[in-house]
Chains A and B, each alone.
Chain A
Amino acid sequence: MKKERYFREELQRLFIGLAIVPAVSITLICCFIFMGLLLKGRWEENTAQGDYTAKQLEQIVTTCSQELERLESLEGLFDGEPDAAKRARIFEEIYRSTSGLEYEADFYMLDASRQVILTDGDEAPDFLRIAPGISWGIFGSMEASPGKTVFRLQNGYRQKGAALALGRAVCAGGRLQGYLIFLLNDSSLQPILEHSAAQTVVTDPFGWAFFSSSSAFLTDSHQLSREIREGDTWLTCNRQFYLLSVRSACQGNLLVYVLSDIHNIVISLALNTALVITALLIMTLWVFAATRKVTEKKTEDFYRILDVMDQGKKGNLDCRVQVESNNEFRTIADAYNGMIGSLSQQMENNRRMAELVAISQNRQLESQFNPHFLYNTLETIRYMCRIEPETASRMIFCLSGLLRYSLDSSRTEVPLKEDLEHLNNYLTILKYRFGTRLCCTMDVEERTLDCMTPKLVLQPMIENAVRYGFGDRETLSVELKAYIHEDHLVMICRDDGAGMTQAALSELSQLLEQKENRSRHSGLYNIHRRIQLLYGHPYGVEIRSTEGRGTTLIITLPARREENIC
């Protein structure tokens, strides 16, 4: 499942990576470049207006001060009440001065008691009507530095009537003679504001406005609002966005604030960005949905193949890939189906072959009868023929029964009681051979008699006991037991004979685990091998022995009854 998601995600990522991300980034970058260009345009306009305003102001102030200096140098300016000729002369000069100015300026000439002697303007404004002796406004500045042109913003706090006053206190021989003053009214400087679409505010260093394009930036006191005075280039004022540039003019006595409205640019930038982001979201969702469908469809066959492969890995080779489409997956599926088909065919063949091999091996093993036994028995019979022909005849009967039983290849498994019957034949023969030297007792549980055992499983146990048990001994007793323990049929053959050395025992144990027998212990080996061929690993023969104390053989088989087999 995880793999599946991985592949599909990879596909989706491919879609997003190759389609959406470049589209969105290019759109955004274009958007930003566009906005940047717009902003740059505004900024240039803004700074141009700032430079223009500052330049105009500088120019006016410079011209006015020059004119003031020139007027001051006129002879006899303050010598009493001017007569008509003198007035004409002075006015001639004034008009010449003011006509040189681009903007309208009013000229006032005041005597030492601050009374207007001459003017080309209206009635003197209130700030020129300060009683003598009071150092206030432009008078304060003029008196502080006589003989120099000073300027001062007057009535900056008024909604209307702010004026830039340029003045000069005229002194002769250390005595104040009068004042020469130019007044630039805010209204006369309106043309500067109309020069550009950017909003311009000119203030003194404390924020009192001289003139302004819009009163929206000013407080009730006609002061430039604090947020603009303290604002940086990017400014929010009255919930509008502005670009702000500030310039100082006239040696820092005036400040020019230029504000460009960038609200629309910012809003459209925000809208564009929001649109792009929304588009991105929609596209992402769409791509997720679409690619899921497409990849599900396109990778359906792929995952079907994968699923069958998983099944094959688990051992189920019967599944076949069903591919409906007619593309590369079809080829893969067909190839896989063919491969799996031939593989399971091959495995079936192998299984059959192994079965056949087991059967034939079993046959071969069970048919082996110890030739020593035959020789010994026949030798005994030969003697018996002379001594007791009756016994010999019975022995031959037993032997022939035994041989017939062993040669009967129709069955490989028999009930225990049948094997016991034939064991009796064998024991009878042994009785004749050994007489009282051999004592054999049996203790077989009733319910074990029906259990199926491999044919001739008991005989090699007794044979082994007789063969190795006597050693140097005169007598040997063998005890045979059979019982059922936890669904296992356990058969034990215990003798009190010579036993085996530790080395012999381990050698024998090792021998039993080998696939092929090359030793003389063929009887036990054969039983062990047959049991393993028939019933598998945990079953078989176990040998326990102590030297001088006897040997115990234990055979463990599955406890299966006759009816269970069929």
Chain B
Amino acid sequence: MNKIRGQKRIRFLRLLCRAALLTSAALIGLGCAGGKEQVSGGELVIYCPHPQDFIDPIVSEFEARTGISVLVCSGGTAELLEQVAAGGTPPCDIFWGGSLSITSPRKELFDPYVSVNEPQIREEFQNREGNMTRFTDVPSVIMINTNLIGDIPVEGYEDLLQPELKGQIAMCDPAASSSAWEHLINMLYAMGDGDPEQGWDYVERFCENLDGKLLERSSQVYEGVARGQYAAGLTFEEGGARYAASGSPVRLIYMKEGVLSTPDVVCIAKNSAHRKEARQFVDFVTGYDAQSVIAGQLNRRSVRTDVDEPEGLPDKSGLPAIQDDLELVTARREQWLEHFSKLYEKGLSSE
């Protein structure tokens, strides 16, 4: 109400202001030849759940290199996907980010495009669907604040059940964030010893230890741990690695029970008004230069064969990697999310 009134007032004042300008211009003959040409409408609109610090260097380099102006809309993966489906404003041209397991069920939203870099993409990250170009490889990790964790040993999921960590764990709602969804899959597979349905016991106990704290956005997880709001957080590798690289008191734990690594994607939205620019963007972010910088400076694992593993991150071959069944995960998403939500509610009510 107040805001509306404020806007009205502003409009009124603006009107007065214009009236004043007109009068003064007429009286004094002030030639206000200000203004500038409008640069809107021609922008490439990118829907992106990546952290801002990750987006900005890549987007600014893309702009400088191609002269194409970019507008980034940030948000949670699920929320942004809904907006793409609903035709949000401004209309999405590029959907950049979000793990494959969460984006592939909505692959009908995207236009087929195979980037010029596809021959250099690793075998396991090939664009098999035709419209889902892999962007980076994103393992799930546990991020701990070394100042808060003390002598509590954290080596994997099992350790998160320790009563000392109750209420100290940052986890995002898997329905909203793709990194949290990846962790839920990871938990189910890792704790179920390959059979996801066996993992629910662990999830139930884990939910109890969350102590009713479930976050809305994945950024709250790594920021929360880095700032010391939580002792441990379930996030994706790059989210925590940035803080580790910049010297923050955080450490990444690769779960000894198994680490699931799912690529995220960069896709062109159906009916994009800037298809040519969108393709340029996909080629750019999967190109050697961008992938090298991403691996060299932005702490992500490249999908290209010709780019090395990032410095400061363990070799992927050394990780206790596990595999999931993408089809199964995709098919059970709704069911699992519901189950998780139930367990979480139960954890709430048991207090």
Q: List chain A positions with a Cβ less than 8 A from chain B.
A: 29, 32-33, 35-37, 39-40, 43, 47, 126, 130-131, 133-137, 140-141, 152-153, 156-157, 204-206, 208, 220-222, 226, 229-230, 232-234, 236, 239, 241, 243-246, 262, 266-267, 269-270, 273
Contact = CB atoms under 8 A, between A and B. Distances in A.
Contact of B14 (A37, A157, A236): A236
A32 B70 contact: no
B36 interface: yes
Contacts of B40: 230
A234 B293 contact: no
Interface string B32-63: 10111011100000000000100111001101
A266 B20 CA distance: 9
B271 to A, nearest CB: 24
Top 9 A-B pairs, shortest CB-CB distance: A36-B24, A157-B56, A32-B23, A233-B34, A246-B36, A206-B63, A134-B292, A35-B20, A245-B34
B28 A270 contact: no
A503 to B, nearest CB: 91
Interface of B: 6, 10, 12-14, 16-21, 23-25, 27-28, 30, 32, 34-36, 38-40, 52, 55-57, 60-61, 63-65, 67, 69-72, 288-290, 292-293, 296-297
A36 B25 contact: yes
A40 B289 contact: no
Given A157-B56, A208-B60, 13 more contacts: A32-B20, A36-B24, A130-B293, A134-B292, A136-B290, A140-B61, A152-B64, A221-B52, A230-B39, A233-B34, A246-B36, A270-B12, A270-B16
B60 A39 contact: no
A349 B12 CA distance: 77
B20 A232 contact: no
Contacts of B57: 157
Contacts of B290: 136
Nearest to A246: B36
Nearest to A152: B64
B293 A136 contact: yes
A32 B27 contact: yes
Contact of B34 (A36, A136, A157, A246): A246
B339 to A, nearest CB: 36
A244 B293 CA distance: 37
Given A136-B293, A270-B13, A37 B39 contact: no
A273 B16 contact: yes
B25 to A, nearest CB: 7
B17 A40 contact: no
Nearest to B23: A32
A269 B23 CA distance: 12
B36 A234 contact: no
6 contacts: A36-B28, A37-B28, A131-B296, A236-B10, A245-B34, A269-B16
Contacts of A136: 61, 289-290, 292-293
Given A206-B69, A244-B34, A36 B292 contact: no
B308 to A, nearest CB: 10
A206 B20 contact: no
Contacts of B60: 156-157, 206, 208
A273 B20 CA distance: 10
Nearest to B10: A236
Nearest to B25: A36
Contacts of B288: 134
Contacts of B28: 33, 36-37, 40
Given A130-B293, A134-B293, A36 B20 contact: yes
Given A131-B292, A266-B13, A43 B30 contact: yes
Nearest to A144: B65
Contacts of B61: 136-137, 140
Contact of A206 (B24, B30, B70): B70
A221 B48 CA distance: 14
A281 B297 CA distance: 68
B18 A234 contact: yes
B145 to A, nearest CB: 23
Contacts of A232: 34-35
A135 B289 contact: yes
Nearest to A131: B296
Contacts of A47: 34
Contacts of A131: 292, 296
B16 A126 contact: no
B289 A234 contact: no
